[in-house]
Amino acid sequence: MKRNLERGMTLVELMAVIIILGIMLTVIAKNIFGQADNAKARTNILRLEKIKGALELYRTEFGRYPGQLGDLIRPSADIQQSGKLFMKYAEESELKDVWEHDLLYKNENDGRSFSLTSLGADGAPGGTDANQDVTLRP
């Protein structure tokens, strides 16, 4: 004689499945969001390279790097007095990193050099991965 066994999952089995699925989703989500942060950090480096190129064009035109980043979008008093034609080398929105933090620019050696820095996603010095500082120089 066959015994009629009830089919289905017990509450303990159901809870185990839910916990396993939760762990799997957490690991997958962490990896996906981590890749998004890394992609944004790479995009930020491209933005810094673009501004570096604008700084190089400015130097080619005026013989020195600008005193501040704002000089890439509007002429300084010196440039206005010189009478040289000024063109916009960047858009104002490009003077921030991809996380909307101001880029740090330092004119060095009397306009012969510069440093251009993004403080990363956290906007604070130091850090790793997407929070890592990136500095470009000529």
**Digit-coded pLDDT (tens) for 31-73:** 777 788 888 999 999 999 999 999 999 999 999 999 999 999 9
113: part of which helix (H) or strand (E)?
Answer: strand 113-118
- The answer on pLDDT for 129 being more than 90 is no
> Can you name the CATH fold of 15-136?
Glycoprotein, Type 4 Pilin (3.30.700)
Q: 107 forms bridges with which residues in the sheet?
A: 114
Cα distances (Å, whole numbers) of residue 38 to 12, 43, 116: 39, 9, 20
Adjacent-strand bridge partners of 134: 118
Terminal-to-terminal C-alpha distance of the chain: 88
Shortest CA distance to 133 belongs to which of 122, 116, 119?
Answer: 119
Q: Is the pLDDT of residue 4 over 60?
A: no
Beta strands in the chain (DSSP E): 104-108, 113-118, 134-136
Binning pLDDT at 50, 70 and 90, where does residue 6 land? Answer: low
